[in-house]
């Protein structure tokens, strides 16, 4: 499976993946998914929001066990974030068939569309739409960096943007959703475990800071006469780091747009995007309000106007305790994918990264498995998981699915 996926959307220059929603690379990944489904005799379908499903058994029977993840990527993303979950899902089904397991419930592998939000700025669009957490009107307003609206991008890819919207009937068929994902931190590396179970997803969001000043000549405008928005922006970046350290959360300015973006021009506009996350809502509020306060102070001092817009927000997700405990029981009983655990407990981890599983958890019992990432590096070509750990992940997922879906 990896051989088929590896070249799709790979940028030879950076060595990273550029699998943006509704792009050519995305279409190739979707074709790969369809082929994997059909080669296993699964029924392939695409829902109204562009999510792909591969069914074993009759979905209308309800109480289905669903596993999967996403195939799209961030700009220059790694090979594992998303695809590891999809590949492992198909591999786990192969493993269950090898074991001769008989399914007592319908089973599906899913590929959620536009999870990373790399193109339109909002993460988990496919699952948010299905779960009714993104309105059709708001989705239709999304635009990519070239000004292409989401509906035009969907049309160009051969999908009907007027069909998108809440899909409660489809979600009601799901009795449990399990997403396997490469860990995006080093907790498993530090604990020495190949596989862990998720406890919660931290609350997180994206805020856009627009600093508006006055464009002018870099060579003829006296320093005292400038209204340079880059200065309060720079102070705000430093404040974000300070506030995050103070409160014990995370804050990152990783994307910036400058107008007119000329070497010899004082900018008229500096637009920076803050990504902030924390283990709890109070900490997150403290970080973001601290950053905004600093931004306003510095903007005023520089004679610059400031607008702060919250572009997206996801509250804390506490995965269903019953399903999580059931999964731990299965993994601990079976020795975590066949390995001898020596009586060790399966680690339970929180994460600062958002996932489709987090979106679905509002409507469906949901759980996540993490596979060890030896460096913790993610959203980068350096993202990695060792082959042995990937195999342990597949076995663990197969154990969990067997426990949930098979008689
Ligand atoms: Zn992911």
Query: Looking at residue 337, what is its pLDDT?
Result: 46
Pairwise CA distance, residues 102 & 91, whole Å = 16
Give the Å distance between the CA of 222 and the centre of ligand 1. 48
Distance 123 CA to ligand 1 centre (A): 10
Distance 229 CA to ligand 1 centre (A): 34
Q: What stretch of H or E contains 390?
A: helix 387-405
What is the average pLDDT across 56-73?
97
Ligand 1 midpoint to CA 101 (Å)? 29
For 117-144, how does the pLDDT look when each residue is reduced to its tens digit (9 = 90+)?
999 999 999 999 999 999 999 999 999 9
Return mean pLDDT, the chain. Answer: 95
What value does the mean pLDDT take over residues 43-50?
A: 97
Asked if residue 342 has pLDDT above 60, the reply is no
**Tokens matching residue 82:** 């998303």
* Percent of the chain whose predicted confidence (pLDDT) is above 90: 92
Q: pLDDT, tens digit, for every residue of 188-219?
A: 999 999 999 999 999 999 999 999 999 999 99
Alpha carbon of 303 to ligand 1 centroid (Å): 41
Q: Is the pLDDT of residue 259 over 70?
A: yes
- Tens digit of each residue's pLDDT (9 = 90 or more) over 218-246: 999 999 999 999 999 999 999 999 999 99
Which pLDDT score is estimated for 335?
Answer: 60
Entry pTM? 0.84
Distance 134 CA to ligand 1 centre (A): 19
Distance, in Å, from the CA atom of 259 to the CA atom of 336, rounded to the nearest integer, reads 53
- Tokens 């759980």, residue? 367
The pLDDT-based confidence of 407 (bands split at 50, 70, 90) is: confident
Q: Helix, strand, coil proportions of the chain in percent (round to 5)?
A: 40, 25, 40
For residue 378, give Cα distances in angstroms to 17, 82, 201, 327, 396. 12, 11, 16, 25, 22
250-259, strands of its sheet edge to edge: 250-259, 269-277, 204-212, 305-314
- Centroid of ligand 1 to alpha carbon of 379 (angstroms): 9
Residue pair 267/230 in contact (Cβ under 8 Å)? The answer is: yes
Please give the Cα distance from 152 to 148 (Å, whole number): 7
The pLDDT of residue 340 is: 46
The pLDDT of 356-385, averaged and rounded, is: 95
Q: Quickly state the pLDDT bin for 338 (edges 50, 70, 90).
A: very low
Among 325, 405, 376, 371, which residue's Cα sits nearest to residue 69? 371
Q: Which of 44, 36, 21 is nearest to 164 (CA)?
A: 21
Whole-number Å distance, alpha carbon 282 to ligand 1 midpoint, is 26
Ligand 1 center from residue 225 Cα (angstroms):
47
Determine the distance separating the centroid of ligand 1 and the alpha carbon of 217, expressed in angstroms: 44
Give the H or E element holding residue 376: none
Angle at Cα 183 formed by Cα 180 and Cα 185, nearest 5°? Answer: 160
DSSP characters over 307-346: EEEEEEEE--EE--HHHHHHHHHHHHHTHHHHS--TTPPP
pLDDT in tens, 261-310: 999 999 999 999 999 999 999 999 999 999 999 999 999 999 999 999 99
Distance from Cα 124 to the centre of ligand 1, integer Å: 9
Looking at residue 28, what is its pLDDT?
98
Ligand 1 centroid – CA 126 distance (Å): 13
Q: Please tell me the distance from the alpha carbon of residue 211 to that of residue 266, in angstroms, as a whole number.
A: 13
Query: What pLDDT does 161 receive?
Result: 96
Handedness of CA 81, 83, 84, 89 (dihedral sign): positive
* φ, ψ for residue 277, nearest 5 deg: -145, 155
Predicted pLDDT of residue 345: 85
- Cα Rg of the chain (Å, integer): 23
Distance CA 124, CA 113 (A): 7
Cα(325) to centroid(ligand 1), Å: 23
Instruction: Give the pLDDT band (50/70/90) at residue 173.
Output: very high
Tell me how far the alpha carbon of residue 212 lies from the centroid of ligand 1, in angstroms: 34
Rounded to the nearest angstrom, the distance between the alpha carbon of 117 and the centre of ligand 1 is 11
User: CB of 283 within 8 A of CB of 249?
Assistant: yes
Count of helices and strands (H, E) across the chain: 14, 15
CA of residue 221 to ligand 1 center, whole Å: 47
CA of 349 relative to ligand 1 center, distance in Å:
16
- 130: number of CA atoms within 13 Å, CB side? 32
| pLDDT at residue 406, as a whole number | 92
pLDDT at 135: 96
Query: In the prediction, which pLDDT does 312 show?
Result: 87
């Amino acid at each position: 499976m990896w051989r088929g996926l590896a070249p799709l959307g790979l940028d030879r220059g950076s060595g990273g993946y550029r699998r943006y929603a509704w792009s050519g690379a995305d279409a190739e990944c979707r074709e790969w998914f369809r082929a994997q489904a059909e080669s296993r005799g699964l029924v392939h379908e695409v829902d109204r929001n562009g999510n792909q499903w591969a069914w074993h058994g009759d979905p209308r029977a309800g109480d289905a066990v669903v596993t999967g993840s996403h195939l799209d990527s961030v700009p220059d993303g790694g090979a594992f974030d998303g695809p590891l979950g999809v590949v492992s899902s198909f591999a786990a089904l192969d493993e269950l068939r090898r074991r001769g397991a008989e399914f007592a419930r319908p089973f599906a592998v899913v590929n959620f569309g536009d999870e990373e939000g790399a193109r339109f700025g909002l993460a988990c669009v496919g699952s948010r739409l299905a779960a009714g957490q993104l309105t059709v009107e708001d989705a239709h307003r999304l635009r990519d960096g070239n000004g292409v609206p989401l509906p035009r991008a969907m049309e160009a890819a051969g999908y009907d943007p007027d069909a998108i919207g809440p899909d409660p009937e489809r979600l009601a068929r799901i009795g449990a959703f399990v997403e396997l994902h490469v860990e995006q931190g080093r907790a498993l590396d530090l604990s020495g475990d190949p596989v862990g179970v998720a406890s919660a997803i931290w609350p997180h969001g994206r805020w856009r800071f627009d600093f508006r000043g006055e464009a002018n000549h870099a060579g003829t405008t006296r320093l005292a006469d400038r209204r340079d928005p880059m200065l309060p922006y720079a102070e705000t970046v430093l404040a974000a780091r300070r506030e995050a350290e103070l409160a014990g959360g995370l804050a990152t300015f990783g994307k910036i747009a400058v107008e007119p973006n000329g070497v010899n021009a004082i900018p008229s506009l500096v637009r920076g995007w803050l990504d902030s996350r924390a283990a709890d809502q109070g900490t997150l509020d403290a970080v973001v309000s601290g950053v905004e306060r600093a931004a306003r102070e510095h903007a005023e001092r520089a004679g610059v106007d400031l607008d702060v817009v919250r572009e997206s927000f996801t509250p804390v997700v506490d995965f269903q305790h019953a399903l999580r405990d059931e999964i731990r029981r299965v993994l601990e009983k079976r020795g975590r994918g066949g390995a001898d655990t020596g009586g060790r407990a399966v680690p339970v981890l929180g994460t600062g990264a958002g996932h489709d599983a987090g979106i679905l958890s509002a409507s469906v019992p949901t759980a996540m498995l993490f596979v060890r990432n030896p460096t913790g590096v993610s959203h980068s070509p350096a993202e990695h998981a060792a082959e042995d750990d990937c195999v342990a992940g597949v076995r663990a997922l197969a154990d969990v699915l067997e426990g949930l879906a098979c008689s």
